[in-house]
Structure 1
Amino acid sequence: MKTSCLIRESQNQVNIPEIHTIIGGFVRGGESGRARKAYARQLGNSHEVYTIGKPMKQSRRTEMVIGFSDADYVGISHPHTDALVVTITVANHNVHRILMDNGSSADILYWSAFKKLNLGQERIVPTSCPLMRLTGEQVQPVGSIELQVTAGSYPRQMTVMVRFLLVDRPSIYNAIIGRMTLNELRAITSTPHLKIRFPTNHGVGEIRGDQRAARQCYNISMKECPRTSTRGSTNSTVKEKLKSFLRDNCDVFTWSHEVMPGMAPSVMAHKLNADPSFKLVRQKRRVYSAEKSKVTAEEVEKLREAEFIKKI
């Protein structure tokens, strides 16, 4: 199974809070188990491949040779292993941070992005199509919704209807475009060039990847990914026990300066790391607004009354 470059770099990590390579979703014959089996049997048992049904309608798009050259490297920082993250128009909204993933068998729209489209939940259609993550965890979509997607810039652009699966999970991406829509667009992707090209009635259309956004997404996913330790990771049971312990003993914690007067310097003290051989320099007094000065004075007075600080 083919995966995007972002997936290959992240596959050794665990619990990254987004869906990467997707298994599941719709097939051409429908979403039932029978439809999937029929779809799998279409190629037969031999190594020969037969054309079943009508070929893809060519419309007014003529056969075009789509390729990439060294000129397409201009503007791309190399070497890189960045994912193909783009901006396309979904339901008349320019949606950023969309991952174009040849390894995904489904088109995914995350719930946070769906809410920003302001489409209303009445258009959501229930679905029984589960999704599988790399870890084998099954994710049940909220439903599906068919939206208009426009790729490219006028006049070299294509508009198709995409049936998205709505997933209510946190993600660094707003959506994932998988093989279903890429095939519908007859798109050719190039991860080295971070570009997608596809035929249109007015020539070859193009979508450029956003290298900066791709790296931001990667960095965020790595920050959210828990690091394993040689001492072992804390599981959810231990975490819940710790939370329960802290709640049961919340009365031993201090929540303000007033309830912990006279802290001994042996417990905590702030020291200026200054060389005593240097002459002291008085800093120029800073002038603040009346509101900030009042708040600062009140906080200093609290520290003074609790004997945390003293005037010298």
Structure 2
Amino acid sequence: MFGFAGHAVYPEGEIALPLTLGIGDLRKTVMTTFTVVHAPSSYNVILGRPTMNEMKAVASTYHQKIKFPVRGQVGEVKGDQPSSRRCYGETVRVDQKKARREGKEKEHQEETHEREVHFVVEEEQEVVEIEPGKNVQVARDICTTTRVNLLQCLKTNVDVFAWSQKELFGISPRVAEHKLNILPGSRPVKQKKRHFGPEKDKVIEKQVEELLKAGHIREVHFPS
């Protein structure tokens, strides 16, 4: 289940207690089952819809009141503005502390993940020819059994894979079609040109040339 702040909470049990609301003679008592959770909150008890329905209560956040019928009359519970402000402020502070703590934990996990990631460089791979003109790169450090099974699978199903950009025919618009729903009259947004570095620019340029030759993309001129 999820708390009001959107975080997951795990019930530790339930307890049934008599709940009394009202002032003086205009009081009403009902047995209420509370779900006990361990979660940071400024509120000790939160009344749910089942209890409100059983009491036939009507709540108004604007007036900070709850009214309910009592023996043909109307009982009420009044809220307290200073207490409400303190509870709200404390809830915001708890959420902010939790967000900062989770942000630090996420940064730590990302740094740890970056240190643990292993990149296979080109020197650790070798090019294997499946058929003339159809090559694949295979890691050198894989076990012999996996290597044999992998190459055998590729040779057996060589006609299944696309070995060049020209063999990628795409999907017919009758099957699936992607559209951008742009509001008529919207002005184009101009963004700064992004540079990825010399090495990445070479790879991007090569991929773009292959896609152009295969006819998958075309050049479009926009006003500067």
Fold shared per TM-score above 0.5: no
Query: Relative contact order (alpha carbons < 8 A, sep ≥ 6): 1 or 2 greater?
Result: 1
Q: Flag the structure with higher helix content.
A: 2
Bigger-Rg structure (1/2): 2
TM range (shorter): 0.3 to 0.5
Q: TM-score, normalised by structure 1?
A: 0.31
